[in-house]
Structure 1
Amino acid sequence: MPELWLPGAEIHDLGDHAPTDQQYPPKAIAHITWDRNATAAAPQDWCTYEDLVNYFTGSGAGDAPHLVWDPFSGRTAQLFPADSRSKSLLSPTASPTRTNRAGRVVIQIEAVFFPYCRYQGRIYPRLVDTPCAGWDRIHAWIASWGVPDLWPMGRPADFSGHRDETVWESVGGWYAHAHVPFNDHTDPGSWPDLTAGPGIPGSPPSQQHPAPPADSSPARYQVSINGLAYGYGAHGYQVTAVGRALVARGYGAHYRSGPGPDWTDADTENYADYQGSLGYSGQAADGVPGEASLNRLLGYLPGQRTVSVAHVVAAAQTDPGAEQGHRTYGAEVALVEQALADEGLLDQRWVDGSFGTRTVSAYAAWQRRCGYQAGAADGIPGQASLDRLGSAQGFAVTD
């Protein structure tokens, strides 16, 4: 099964998932945000990606798409999984279909763009005049969901509407918002070429998701998930965490040493084996993590190496009494647990992001190592002991 979440996207899951209507063919819907009205004579400054993400995750959640895409940087936010409907189309009672659901998938993309926007001093009349950074990655992911590379009502070339209910109900492919029956918007006006391959101008290499090479050699590119790098050449504690989790699950056959903090071909090959165990195949099982598979492997998404005292105290007070495996602040707790494991105080298998009773006991042992006694070594982190652990294991501590 393809990834529910676009690899490398910033995930802002709005919840409220709902199934699509499977009797219709798969579709993708192209939008632009068109948040300002500008002209050639009166261009306006581009509205930022952050502003639009904040809008769709706030007051505009009722109109949210699957993807919010910045065509200048390639940054992409995902708000709904691929198999859920999103909410960017009108779906009046008079419509024969529920337009947001009329397909095996109905994946909607909002490019953060309006005609004649000004970005870094340059004016862009059409979306296709931008770098369209990251487009190949989005296109490949949507194609993996069975959306064919065709425009049943024609590739958008202007802001005129063309709507045909019969075509909409019977033909899968890409539709402009201007093509959707019972809607009145006429965007996007233009859209990148569906035949464009990896490496189009402006696509950051770290955000590309190319197909595996013909010689089946391990994939050698990176993605960024929650601000950390994964894939060949990535370095950091998160790489070690992935490797150890793979070994714990029985997917470490390609290691000759390690795992360690540097992502090698062995990490890629082991991760590909793990992806295959989840039912992924082809490009989706090339050994470079996607957010969904990484979350399934670790139970959390690693973050920057900063730990809040207040957060881990809350976790230490909450997780032991909650259901097994409960994670109050999973990414930060996992950092503390890994540090305790590296100090020889916690078995590696309990590095799971849950500050349960074993972690409390291990932290109490750390406190005793720091010289605390009796009630002062209760397993609940304090500023001083956490600072010492952070200094020993390389993470920063905040209030």
Structure 2
Amino acid sequence: MSTGPQRYPGASTTYWYQNRFGGDLQEVNVVVLHTTEGTNLPSYDGGASAPNLTLVPDFKAKRLKAYQHFDFDRSSRALVNLRGGVETNTLNVAQVELVGTCDPATHARWKKAGYAYIYWPEAPEWALQGVADLLAWAHKNHGVPLSGPKTWKAYPGSYGSDNGVRMSFSQWNSFKGVCGHMHVSENRHGDPGALDFAQILELAKGGKTPPAKGQTYEPYPRAAFFLKGSRPALGKSSPIFTAMSKRLVAVGCGRYKVGPGPVLGQADVDSYEKFQRKLGFTGSDAKWPPGPASWAKLKVPKV
């Protein structure tokens, strides 16, 4: 049984494998996220090990381009599914591969070699948004819950059958929502590593998560120009700038000859860009204005 739209809007079907590997009809209530551990769209052995969708980074456009290989409600082939065990590929699961790596050793090699790639534990905001957009579509059109495991372990600690987050057969059979390959019963792979899953869910829900008990920060600033991604003019006054500047000083990124104040100055912009570089953003991704991912990490107090 399947319901709802089967093609993700805008996805390419250039590499469509359903005609060769028909799969089983299912009504999806689980999405599993993988990383490809490569820099390009994989061949998937001609479709023999393909997921439902692959998200490929377009660095120039700063977006993820989707390639769809199977209908959304059709079982794909990217998980280990042993005979006599629990069903994985066919248990109402849509599988999504994220092109890039979760392995810090691979990250170091690729960075040294000058490759263009995404290290998913430090993915830029536009990449997280691309994943969030797909999950929001799956939630709206197929009822996949926007929830999942709280723990997304860093690779290589996430590898293995006894990684501490792998579901048991009964847990897998009852699970609904979004998880990683590291969580899937009967498998050993540890991808997608320490993905910022909480941030992806925030973006997918289109809002902010209430602060935990005792926290005094909000993940996004109140000023609408931050959310819209525009560039507030130097000289603009807002108490949010005072709070922001104080936090930048506290995390060792403040570049002020005079104490932080409510008027946006070049020192504020320079300090924030230093903070974004400290988080691992490079090039235009490290430029002003702040995005939700880096703003959440700065933890600006309420004003």
TM-score (norm 2): 0.52
Aligned-partner Cα distance in 1 for 2:64–2:206? 12
Is 1:148 the equivalent of 2:135? no
Deviation at 1:48, TM superposition (A): 2.5
Question: Alpha-carbon deviation of 1:139?
Answer: 1.5
Matched, 1:129 2:155: no
Report the AA paired with residue 112 of structure 1.
V
Map 1:53-132; keep pairs closer than 5 Å.
55-56=43-44, 59-71=45-57, 72=59, 73-97=63-87, 99-103=88-92, 106-114=93-101, 115=103, 116=107, 117-118=110-111, 125-130=119-124, 131-132=126-127
Alignment identity in percent? 24
The equivalent of 2:12 in structure 1 is 10
Q: Which runs of 5+ in 2 are unaligned?
A: 208-303
Superposition deviation, residue 101 in structure 1: 0.8
SS in 2 for 1:196: helix
8 Å contact 1:95–1:181 — kept in the other structure?
A: no
Instruction: Give, in angstroms, the shift of residue 60 of structure 1.
Output: 4.3
Residue deviations 1:299-325, cap 9 Å, x none? Answer: xxxxxxxxxxxxxxxxxxxxxxxxxxx
Q: CA deviation at 1:129?
A: 2.2
Whether 1:166 aligns to 2:170 is yes
- Residue type at the aligned position of 2:184: V
Task: Summarize the alignment of residues 157-236 of structure 1 with structure 2, pairs less than 5 Å apart.
Answer: 157-159=153-155, 160=158, 161=163, 162-163=165-166, 164-191=168-195, 192=197, 193-197=200-204
The root-mean-square deviation of aligned C-alpha atoms, in Å, is 2.8
Q: What is the one-letter code of the residue matched to 1:154?
A: K
Give the Cα–Cα distance (whole angstroms) in 2 for the partners of residues 78 and 63 of structure 1: 13
Residues 322-353 of structure 1 deviation map (CA, whole Å, 9 limit, x = unaligned):
xxxxxxxxxxxxxxxxxxxxxxxxxxxxxxxx
Select the structure with the greater relative contact order (CA < 8 A; seq sep ≥ 6).
2
Query: For 1:329-368, what aligned pairs fall within 5 Å after superposition?
Result: none
Report the residue type matching 2:40 in the other structure.
T
Deviation for aligned residue 1:194: 1.5
Give the 3-state SS of the residue equivalent to 1:86 in structure 2: coil
8 Å Cα contact 1:107-1:142 kept in structure 2: no
1:165 Cα deviation (Å)? 1.6
The one-letter amino acid paired with 2:74 is: S
**TM-score (norm: length of structure 1):** 0.40
1:172–1:21 CA distance, 2 compared to 1 (3 A): same
Distance 1:62 1:3, change over 3 A: same
Q: For residue 70 of structure 1, give the secondary structure of its aligned residue in structure 2.
A: strand
Q: Distance in 2 between matches of 1:128 and 1:142?
A: 24
Rounded to whole Å, the distance in 2 between the matches of 1:91 and 1:197 is 29
Letter in 2 for 1:3: P
Q: What CA deviation, in whole Å up to 9, does each residue of 1:91-135 have, x standing for no partner?
A: 0113132x10112xx110000011314497678543442331522
Counterpart of 2:134 in structure 1 is: 138
Conservation of the 8 A alpha-carbon contact between 1:28 and 1:174: yes
Query: Aligned partners of 1:32, 1:149: CA distance in 2, in Å?
Result: 20
Q: Aligned ranges for residues 278-317 of structure 1 at < 5 Å? A: none
Kindly tell me: are residues 145 and 166 of structure 1, through their superposed partners in 2, closer, same or farther at Cα, counting changes over 3 Å? same
| Structure 1 unaligned residues grouped into runs of 5+ | 36-46, 201-399
Give the C-alpha shift of residue 136 in structure 1. 3.2
Equivalent residue number for residue 31 of structure 1: 34
Structure 1's 63 and 120: CA in aligned 2 closer, same or farther, altered over 3 A?
Answer: same
- Amino acid paired to 1:180: V
* Conserved 8 A contact 2:26-2:74: no
Q: Aligned partners of 1:178, 1:79: CA distance in 2, in Å?
A: 22
Q: How many residues align?
A: 177
Matched, 1:48 2:40: yes
Q: 1:121 to 1:65 in 2, by over 3 A?
A: closer
Q: Is the 8 A contact 1:26 1:173 kept in 2?
A: yes
**Rg larger for:** 1
Distance 2:5 2:99 in 1: 23
| C-alpha distance in 2 between matches for 1:122 and 1:5 | 28
Structure 1 residue 137 displacement after superposition:
2.5
Deviation at 1:26, TM superposition (A): 1.4
User: Alignment partner of 2:138: what SS?
Assistant: helix
State the one-letter code of the partner of 1:26: N
Name the structure 1 match of 2:254: none
